[in-house]
Structure 1
Amino acid sequence: MTIETSGTLPLLTEQNIVASRQMVRALCQDLKLSLVDQTKMITAASELSRNTLIHGGGGRMRWEFVERNGRRGLMLHFEDEGPGIPDLALALTDGWTSGSGMGLGLPGSKRLVNDFDIVSASGQGTRVSITKWK
């Protein structure tokens, strides 16, 4: 399988969530991440893909290989045009749940990766970007 250095996958169905996990696995293997780091990135991507579909009404996952200070990494962006997150501080609080998903939530996903950034505005959707460095 030839891996593109960047690309986009739709997140509109449950099947797309499976496809996103498979793509992230392939991207992590291409980057030669350890099995532990692969598992962390796939788990975070699965949670964020599900959030994009369930809470954002669907959207997309974009990926790109990045380099900083001589290190290579994988950056994923989960984007939707949904209702946004009404209380970002609450959503980033450990133990808070909307009642669905794997129960990791945003704080759990944040702990699994090296870099985590979220932008959300009411009525304008949400973008979560995560990076795992080699």
Structure 2
Amino acid sequence: MTEPIIININNEFDIVLARQKGREVSKDLQFGGVDQARITTAISELARNIYLYAGSGQITIEVLEENGRKGIQISASDNGPGINDIRMVLQDGFSTSGGLGAGLPGVKRLMDSFDIDSMPGAGTKITIAKWAR
């Protein structure tokens, strides 16, 4: 098992770096081009959310191996204000930033698994995974 890649998110350059690292790992795992794009899009959205809503946090990228299959797991964690209503932010069209609201529902659709843990005042951790076909 390879060591996790940890990218601290403090500015917009870090968002780009997280995307690049995700693309590199997904390419190394021989994900197809479409899945590489899905993974980098999901990472971009999670990193952007950290930057916009928490100010700083971390993206962690890990290689998964299970029953001969390989995959990628991405965790986004921060110590920001947390999410008051998780169900609401997972609804299509919901946006607190004036964006399109594709955010977290879009991330959930792009990946094979999606887990969110958030408490108001205590930050948020989102873990997503995609398995190679």
Aligned positions of 1:23-38 closer than 5 A? 23-38=21-36
What 5-or-longer segments of structure 2 have no aligned partner? none
Runs of 4+ in 1 over 3 A off after TM superposition: 100-103
1:122 matched residue in structure 2: 120
Q: Does 1:111 align with 2:101?
A: no
Q: Contact 1:51–1:101 (CA<8 Å) still a contact in 2?
A: no
Q: Contact 2:77–2:124 (CA<8 Å) still a contact in 1?
A: yes
2:57 matched residue in structure 1: 59
Alpha-carbon displacement from aligned partner over 1:55-109 (angstroms, at most 9, x marks no partner): 1221000111011232111000000000000111100111111125564211011
| Partner-residue secondary structure (3-state), 2:54 | coil
For residue 84 of structure 2, the aligned residue among 83, 86, 104 is 86
Q: Contact 1:84–1:120 (CA<8 Å) still a contact in 2?
A: yes
TM-score of the pair, normalised by structure 1: 0.93
Change (3 A) 1:128 1:74: same
Higher mean C-alpha deviation, range 81-90 or range 95-104? 95-104
2-side partners of 1:38 and 1:102: how far apart?
22
Q: Contact 2:58–2:78 (CA<8 Å) still a contact in 1?
A: yes
2-side partners of 1:38 and 1:100: how far apart?
27
Q: Does 1:19 align with 2:13?
A: no
1-side partners of 2:60 and 2:18: how far apart?
10
TM-score of the pair, normalised by structure 2: 0.93
1:131 matched residue in structure 2: 129
2-side partners of 1:58 and 1:6: how far apart?
19
2-side partners of 1:100 and 1:29: how far apart?
33
What 5-or-longer segments of structure 1 have no aligned partner? none
| Partner-residue secondary structure (3-state), 2:84 | coil
| Partner-residue secondary structure (3-state), 1:37 | helix
Alpha-carbon displacement from aligned partner over 1:40-67 (angstroms, at most 9, x marks no partner): 0100110010001111221000111011
Q: Please, what is the CA RMSD of the aligned residues?
A: 1.3
